[in-house]
Amino acid sequence: MPAEASPLGFRQRPVKPLLEVDRLRKSFPHASTAAVERVSLALGEGELLALLGPSGCGKTTTLRMIGGFETPDEGTITFDGHDITGLPPEARGIGFVFQDYALFPHLSVLDNVRFGLRKLPRAQARSRAEEMLKLVGLSDLGRRRPHQLSGGQQQRVALARALAVAPQLILLDEPFSNLDAKMRIETRQEVRRLLKSTGSAGILVTHDQEEALALADRIAVMDGGRIVQLGTPDEIYRNPVSEFVANFIGRSNIVSGRAEGMNVHTPFGDLPMTRAANGSVSLAVRPEQIMLEADPNGAAVIVGREFRGHDQIYWVSKDETCFVVISGPGQDHPDGTRVNMRICDCVVPLT
């Protein structure tokens, strides 16, 4: 979907949004600061957006206001052209998948999925529920109770129940937090496939940067109740606007330099930048941008190494600063090896 460009050139706002959140604010009694402070965003039809940030940053409160489970102190929520700010959850036409899935333990899997279809004739509701179970790959488990399923299967039942009412938008609150690492990877790709196949838009709350990068079309990074950067995964990873974003999305080495236009002078030499700046700047350098060259007279020394099969992480000390470097499996430098470091590609000036 076409989008407006921000001053940084990022695609920020769908031209015809399905959902518009305008300057939402929410505070709680006895809290010294607002939980959510003037949050605005827009979501296009069929788009997947991740609200990403550390605990307490306001992402879950934002999601709950969109879903109608919290009432904003200020701001408006517009969905499919209608102001839904004051509507209860059941009147919004938005699906919700809770962190604990919220399945009814006394009902079968099929009846859990059918629960939201009570206004339909019984036969039609059953047919729709069976269709959703087939969609999520659980058509042979309809008679089981939730406790007889694995965590990944329960998650798919919860998604099937949310999809059964054909919502244009589904909200997912840390839906993979109860799964082990392997199951999280498998399930999040399945969720993305299902949402894309049904055309439902989705907003995912997560503190897991890998999850956000893998699942979302766009990511809103939150800190202190505010959105500090909004863009595609590639844009945010390659062009973080601040040291917080650079360190929260992946790993970054922060290097000082003096900028002149599109170039910057650093201890590693003169380097190109992704955007123009002047004067003293802090720069984000990703670990994979640094090349190591063994040299008995090198200015740096390897002080730690972690082999991960497909790559290796090195901790390299230079001038009392420790840098993180990621290299391919073919490079093998033991601890204590003296090296020179060379930065490849453009570096990112931070605000």
For residues 304 and 282, state if they share a domain: yes
Q: For the residues 20-33, what does the mean pLDDT come to?
A: 94
For residues 69 and 192, state if they share a domain: yes
Confidence of residue 262 (pLDDT cuts 50, 70, 90): very high
For residues 311 and 192, state if they share a domain: no
Does some domain include residue 43? Answer: yes
Better-predicted residue by pLDDT, 59 or 103: 59
Does some domain include residue 195? Answer: yes
CATH number at residue 267: 2.40.50.140
Confidence of residue 42 (pLDDT cuts 50, 70, 90): very high
For residues 240 and 257, state if they share a domain: no
Q: What is the pLDDT at residue 201?
A: 95
Does some domain include residue 217? Answer: yes
E strand or H helix at 158, and its extent? Answer: helix 151-164
294-318 pLDDT tens trace: 999 999 999 999 988 888 999 999 9
HSE at residue 225, side-chain half, CA atoms within 13 A, is 15
CA 104 → CA 18, 27, 111, 218, distances in Å? 31, 32, 9, 33
Q: Does the pLDDT of residue 320 top 60, yes or no? A: yes
First to last CA, the chain: 29
Q: What is the pLDDT at residue 1?
A: 42
Q: What percent of the chain has pLDDT over 70?
A: 96
Does some domain include residue 64? Answer: yes
Separation between Cα atoms, residue 38 and residue 212, nearest integer Å: 22
Tokens standing for residue 10: 């990022």
Separation between Cα atoms, residue 292 and residue 148, nearest integer Å: 52
What residues make up the domain containing 345? 251-350
For residues 174 and 56, state if they share a domain: yes
Q: What is the mean pLDDT of the chain?
A: 89
For residues 266 and 346, state if they share a domain: yes
Residue in the block written with tokens 């959902």: 19
Does some domain include residue 302? Answer: yes
Q: For the residues 5-31, what does the mean pLDDT come to?
A: 74
Residue 307 CB neighbours (<10 A): 10
Does some domain include residue 114? Answer: no
Q: For the residues 266-288, what does the mean pLDDT come to?
A: 93
For residues 73 and 39, state if they share a domain: yes
Q: Name the pTM for this structure.
A: 0.85
Separation between Cα atoms, residue 336 and residue 302, nearest integer Å: 5
Does some domain include residue 131? Answer: no
Last residue of a domain, one of 216, 245, 274: 245
Q: Is the four-CA dihedral 171, 174, 179, 185 of positive or negative sign?
A: positive
Number of residues in the chain = 351
Q: What is the pLDDT at residue 15?
A: 55
Considering its fold, how many domains does the chain have in total? 2
Grouping H, G, I as helix, E, B as strand and the rest as coil, residue 23 is strand
Confidence of residue 162 (pLDDT cuts 50, 70, 90): confident
Q: For the residues 316-344, what does the mean pLDDT come to?
A: 91
Residue in the block written with tokens 């036409």: 93
CATH number at residue 197: 3.40.50.300
For residues 183 and 302, state if they share a domain: no
Last residue of a domain, one of 245, 270, 300: 245
Q: Among 58-62, 70-74, 96-100, 323-327, which is the least confidently predicted range?
A: 96-100
For residues 224 and 257, state if they share a domain: no
Q: Does the pLDDT of residue 246 top 90, yes or no? A: yes
Does some domain include residue 331? Answer: yes
For residues 232 and 256, state if they share a domain: no
Separation between Cα atoms, residue 111 and residue 132, nearest integer Å: 12
97-107 pLDDT tens trace: 887 778 889 99
Q: Does the pLDDT of residue 9 top 80, yes or no? A: no
Q: Does the pLDDT of residue 12 top 80, yes or no? A: no
For residues 183 and 290, state if they share a domain: no
Separation between Cα atoms, residue 209 and residue 304, nearest integer Å: 24
25-28: Cβ within 8 A, 24+ apart: 25/72, 25/73, 25/74, 25/75, 26/58, 26/61, 26/65, 26/70, 26/72, 26/73, 27/73
278-291 pLDDT tens trace: 999 999 999 999 99
Better-predicted residue by pLDDT, 181 or 294: 294
For residues 237 and 258, state if they share a domain: no
121-150 pLDDT tens trace: 999 999 999 988 988 888 899 999 999 998
Last residue of a domain, one of 205, 221, 245: 245
